[in-house]
Structure 1
Amino acid sequence: MNHLWGIDLGGTKIECAVLNADNIKEVRVRRRIPTEADQGYEHILNQIEKLVNQVIEELGERPEKIGFATPGTLDPVTQTMRGCNTVVMNDQPMQKDLEARLGVSCLIANDANCFALAEALLGAAPEVHPNAQVVFGIIMGTGVGGGVVINGKVWGGRQGIGGEWGHIFLDESGGPCYCGNVGCVETVLSGPSLQRFYTQEAGEKRSMPDILARHQAGTDAAATATVERMLNQFGKALSIITNLLDPDVIVIGGGVSNIDLLYTEGVQRAQKHIFTPKPDVLVVKNVLGDSAGVFGAALL
């Protein structure tokens, strides 16, 4: 049987999924082991090799190629990893090293691209727009990322930064970003950034669900200020995607995607910034959850 192999390389776990190429909704094998990144880059490679061998034994056949979802980007010029929050991977020739270890062709894309690909082909996009040609995937969680899928393929761009919505300038109030710039989308709309703004306003820490509940109850001015700022800034950031790409579907994942107001008031706030008299922006919540990374890797 023809199979598609994918591995999601996370900070705490490495997951492998094998899909039936003739029916991509059929998962033949799915296994995970701990990353143990604190033991270094070579140990991560060892863990990947260990997991692949386990799946080979279970499936009874070797892969022809493997797709990898990574927490960073393979620089197309230097062929080394960059922007990984699993920092021991940075500056490493990971694709070359994996191919040498595993003896198969390896394809690498960042986790936001893999999320976008999975939701475009298997997830939310086909449910709302079966013939979608352009899908933009957004991850809003601990960090913020994005990915572009055009006609079923990831658009990584000339420099490997296609879809990097999280590092577009949005508002200086977000403050410094780990990337070296100030006011990136990530510094304004990530979960920790939203909670940090509330703390600055209220002088105390609260979780995002608690902030939302207090806003909806009308009992906490700082909570309302946090939510209003989130909706306004999300609207501006969403309009950037729409004015640039005008995608058929925008899919949101990550912990912040559970905020229902984003799909109603958030989209409404975007409309006044969109360059058309009657904006029609289709923004939906993901359906694959944490499966999107490994499925997207397989679909590479």
Structure 2
Amino acid sequence: MTQRIGIDLGGTKIDCALLSEAGEVQHSMRVETPQGYDAIVREIAAQAWAAQQVAGGKASIGIGSPGSQSPLTGLWRNSNIVACNGKPFAADLAAAIGQPVKLENDANCFALSEALDGAGKGSGTVAFFTVGTALGGGLVINGRLHVGANAEAAEFGHTGLPWPTDGEWPPLPCFCGKRGCAEQYVSGTGLARDYKVATGHALPGKEIVKRARFGETEAKAALARLQDRLARVAANLVAVIDPDVFVIGGGLSTLPELVEELPPLIAHYSFSGSAQVKVLRAAHGETSGVLGAARLWD
């Protein structure tokens, strides 16, 4: 099949796109994510059917979703869309749609899109961060997703925050049941929590960034801590996989602190203290997820 359908399931919306053989978007739609597992499966199937009508019934289907499938049980797990956890999500989607599907973690879909024809195109090893409400990750090596034997590779948000400072102790609890996970610090949620601890005022991340741009000392300090923490996470990955490029996506990827200004800090924390690190902003923005899902059959 030369036409490809990509579907990106998120906590608030579901995106669908049909790509031509040349990779051009032939059809797209977006709907709100319904409540409940059965409703989610039905809505994804409805989007897939609508796109197949445009494709003349000749398109592969790839789907991205928070979480991952257990290689042992085939059940979906670790999703912030909790209704999907513990369910045979891929099998139920294939049955509802009426054809085989490929289901993959949404951050992995972002990474695949950016590695194949986005900011990481032409690079051998691409490490991807999606920095938004949480911290997601993906790893593509020589054009192929690396998911690992347990489908747990590149869960960068659930690695421990490296080299914690006195102010980062004791480690914060994470929804996964452990403490000190990087996403509790390197995320929009982490930025808001950090600012509140420092100032006593609860503000959303966007407002903190706005205040920093207007010169507020506390907001600028919170952004600096966020930047430093992401640099430490990235330097840890340099010590393990030393990628050709880091690609940064997600809602906070517009910040120069997390892209253009990051390489010297990563170098500072690297083993040599002088690693030459390339950091780029995602080329496709929020569409990377649906585009990467469509490429799962490539």
Q: TM-score, normalised by structure 1?
A: 0.90
Distance in structure 2 (CA, Å) of the matches to 1:230 and 1:111:
23
- Equivalent in 125, 139, 151 of residue 160 of structure 1: 151
1:165-201 deviations in Å (ceiling 9; x for gaps):
0000004545111111111110011111111111111
Report % sequence identity.
37
Given candidates 10, 31, 34, the residue that maps to 2:32 is 34
RMSD: 1.8
Distance 1:159 1:32 in 2: 32
Please state whether the residue corresponding to 2:274 is helix, strand or coil.
coil
State the partner residue of 1:87: 82
Could you tell me which residue of structure 1 aligns to residue 104 of structure 2?
A: 109
Unaligned stretches of 5+ residues in structure 1: none
Aligned to 1:242: 238
Contact 2:3 2:58 in 1 (8 A): no
Residues 51-78 of structure 1: CA deviation (Å, up to 9, x unaligned): 1221222232243x31110111111111
Query: 1:205 aligned to 199, 202, 205, which one?
Result: 202
Provide Cα deviations, 1:86-136, integer angstroms capped at 9, x if missing partner.
11100000111122222222111111100101111122123xxxx211111
CA shift for structure 1 position 273 = 2.1
The residue that corresponds to 1:14 in the other structure is: 14
Letter in 2 for 1:197: D
CA distance in 2, matches of 1:34, 1:277: 46
**Which of the residues 161, 178, 181 maps onto 2:178?**
181
Residue aligning to 2:271: 275
Name the CA distance, whole Å, in 1 between partners of 2:117 and 2:27: 17
Deviations 1:127-153 (A, max 9, x none): xxxx21111110110010100011111
1:195 matched to 2:171? The reply is no
Matched-pair contact (CA < 8 Å) for 2:3–2:55: no
SS in 1 for 2:64: strand
How big is the shift at 1:218? 4.6
Q: Work out which of the residue numbers 256, 259, 263 in structure 1 matches 2:255.
A: 259
Question: Deviations 1:240-277 (Å, cap 9, x if unpaired)?
Answer: 12111111111111111111122244322221221336
Take 1:117 and 1:293, find their aligned partners in 2: how far apart are those partners? 9
1 CA distance for matches of 2:215 and 2:27?
48
TM-score of the two chains, using structure 2 as the length reference: 0.91
Shift of the 224–35 alpha-carbon distance from structure 1 to 2, 3 Å rule, reads closer
In the alignment, does 2:125 pair up with 1:134? yes
Give, as a single letter, the amino acid of the residue that structure 2 aligns with 1:15. D
Deviation at 1:209, TM superposition (A): 4.2
Q: Which amino acid aligns with 2:191?
A: L
Contact 2:268 2:274 survives alignment (8 Å):
no
**1:148 equivalent in structure 2:** 139
Aligned partner of residue 189 in structure 1, secondary structure: coil
Aligned equivalent of 1:43: 39
Contact 2:235-2:266 within 8 A present in 1 as well:
yes
- C-alpha displacement of 1:214: 4.0
Q: Unaligned regions of 5+ residues in structure 2, if any?
A: none
